[in-house]
Chains A and B, each alone.
Chain A
Amino acid sequence: MPLAFAALVLLGGGLGLALLWIGELEGFAAGGIFFVHVPVALSAYALLVWGAWKALRLLWTRDERYDLESYTGIHVGLIFALLTLVTGSIWARAEWGVWWDWRDRQLVTFLILFLFYSAYFMLRYSLEQGPARARISAVYALFGVVLIPVSFLAVRLAEQFLHRTPLIRAGRPDIEGTVLGVFGVCFAGALALAASMYAIELAGKRLDARLQEAR
């Protein structure tokens, strides 16, 4: 609960500050969506890496409690990835007037990852509950975390033959001063939100598992 409260305060405060100073941030990051999109995207990466870390622990120690933790990390990570796609699309609309632009590396990478991790759930649901499911899911989660840098590199390479001029979003290279401060608050808020959602989801999944055992 304290985490959820902290998330609320930090996100609300950060976005409030961003809106307050939006005049000063003129031309910067198209109306504040930057302060939602980038923290959410970074939190999504953090969750997916967390899920893979727990998967690695599971394969290493064969301790089954890591299965639910890895699953929850990827579950919440996928929600954040979807949020990244939605906020990124809004940003694209604000900055370039289109809802989707294939020149945006970050969004294209997230689309590939989103598709890959969506199949994680299909895989899980198609397997019988038990240690085999835990291990197969864990291996898949490890593939996902390796796919993150590989697909990012691939999307960059594709720019060479798809379009000569990659889109660089305004403001990203020279973040400084107040902007950095506001961004830090928003990022902390997004991370707190991710952590609290993770905790709630994990508690729910554990309860579910215990209920099934009791039955």
Chain B
Amino acid sequence: MSSRVVVKLENVTKRFGDVVAVNNISFEVYRGELFSLLGPSGCGKTTTLRIIAGLEQPDEGRVYIEGVDVTKMPARERKVCLVFQEYAVFPHMSVYENIAFGLKVKKLPKAEIDKKVKEAAEILELSSYLNYKGGRLGLSEQQRVAIARCLVVEPKLLLLDEPLTLVDAKVRERMRRELKRIQRELETTMIYVTHDQLEALMLSDRVAVMRSGRIVQMGTPEEIYDNPKDLFVATFVGSPTMNLVEGVLELEENKLVLKTPSYKYILSKEVESNIIQSLLGSEVVVGFRPEDAEVRNDGVLEGTVKLIEIVEDRKILHIKINEDEVRVFVDLLAPFTEGQKVKIRINPLKLHIFEKKTGRKLLKGVVSG
């Protein structure tokens, strides 16, 4: 096993009664990497993390940390540190004492403890709170204390279980930026569990998308976002959600057409027919991200604006086209109104075509001729 590998899971399965929480999963996490387990509630991501921490025993498979088989090793001997969703700060101790706790247990010299605590407090912007009692802190400060307490003991591995779920929107945004920077600067190996796709994209070097106890796709954030392997990953990752239209693909006078039971959409004016020949006539789901379409006067699809939302710098128009609804970005100050008729054009290079029956990706991008 390469020394680059900090954690290795080999065919790990965990059952709770009849429920298979984790179903035969394998992956490796490299030194200095932030690796995320991303998925909806109940997908097995937290159980996987708890197996790595030693809080759960797998029914099958092995877990290695730095080449050592730790499958049967008790949690406290694994030298990993775990940060939970719900804070675990001692309310009667000061922030300083909370952060120093693990170092005192290790009986480090006072001066060294002091240095480490202050460094960690600085990084996590807790310097002004050091004398506060844990119980007086807000949720986000408590969560940062929990992370600082882990960082000072310099664990081989830091495990985080949805640490930002309970903090408010503003702090969460800042923490996403900060955690990434801290992790890179300290080169800590982290495994991060989250249901929030944006968090996973923003923080991770690699992401494993999980569903029903299995890893559906694993890769860099760019790979996951740009090349989702199936409909589940395509719709779970990305906000606003990828637009989907079901139908049958046909070629009409060199135009790629998606036929739904009652309508016909022209997806692209000119295509190289050889690329999609095998897909013609089959039932598909065509997907495109909201940023891969635009509202234009010469657009080929016409619809009515149903709802306007604000997302950061942009507005999203929810456009009803026949019986389908698609979302397209426009400028924040663009003067669109609900009820207005608009035309859109989709970038043919950014079309994702999925097999309807299996959800499997068939093709990405229809090259215009």
Mutual binders A and B: no
Interface of A with B (CB < 8 Å)? none
Interface of B with A (CB < 8 Å)? none
